[in-house]
Amino acid sequence: MKAKSLQDLGAIRQQVNAAALAAAAAEEARRDAERRAEAERNLFTHAVGHVKPIAAKARVLITPQRPAARPLQQTLDDKAALSESMSDEFDVSTLLDVDDQLSFRRPGIGTDVTRKLRKGEWAMQGQLDLHGLRSDEAREALGQFVRDSKRMGWRCVRVVHGKGLGSPGKEPVLKSKVQRWLVQKNEVLAFVQAKPSDGGAGALVVLLGPSNI
């Protein structure tokens, strides 16, 4: 475009200057946008400062072993065997020492053993409390307790059967049953009524054979 006059030349210059200013403004805006984008990308670094990656360490993955499955039938058979091995019909009267505090000692066990049990010369290592259990529950709990005690290597334990104060007729129902059950367990060498401080007529102190028997 040719200028026909000085006025036209001035208008052309103004247009060129305006275009240059617009281009400069656009360039400045572009740079400003880039600076903002860069600042956003480095926002975390600017906030926490310079960081170093954590060195990777060798890891050992341990997969927990699942417990071996226990067949339901085996569990039922164990319970059945337990019930059969400790009968409520077993006559224990001929095996108990008739004294002021009925006691039991297996053949070959001397009276000194029951005497020491009464005096508390054996350290008590475990206890089973049968309060509140039905007869079948108490029998199962007692059988499991004897097995567990044997496995732990315990020799002297206490079995609390209660005095029967809450039973109909105030009769100690579990007391005679516990005596029958214990006599039928080969692990039991002897038992006596506990000292008053250890439960008296409501508990028995039981001597178990060594774990290798």
Helix (H, G, I), strand (E, B) or coil at 2: coil
Asked whether residue 17 carries a pLDDT value surpassing 60, the answer given is yes
206: Cβ–Cβ under 8 A, 6 or more apart, which residues? 156, 157, 158, 159, 182, 188, 190, 191
Q: Which CATH number fits domain 86-208: 3.30.70.1140, 3.40.50.1820, 3.30.1370.110, 1.10.10.10?
A: 3.30.1370.110
Segments making up each domain of the chain, as ranges: 6-48, 86-208
| Tens-place pLDDT, residues 25-84 | 888 888 888 888 777 777 666 666 666 666 666 666 666 677 666 666 665 555 545 544
Reported as a pLDDT band with limits 50, 70 and 90, residue 94 is: very low
Reported as a pLDDT band with limits 50, 70 and 90, residue 207 is: very high
* Contact status, residue 194 vs residue 200, Cβ threshold 8 Å: yes
Mean pLDDT, residues 180-185: 92
The CB density around residue 116, as the number of other CB atoms within 10 Å, is: 16
For residue 47, what pLDDT is reported?
66
| Tens-place pLDDT, residues 106-135 | 999 999 999 999 999 999 999 999 988 999
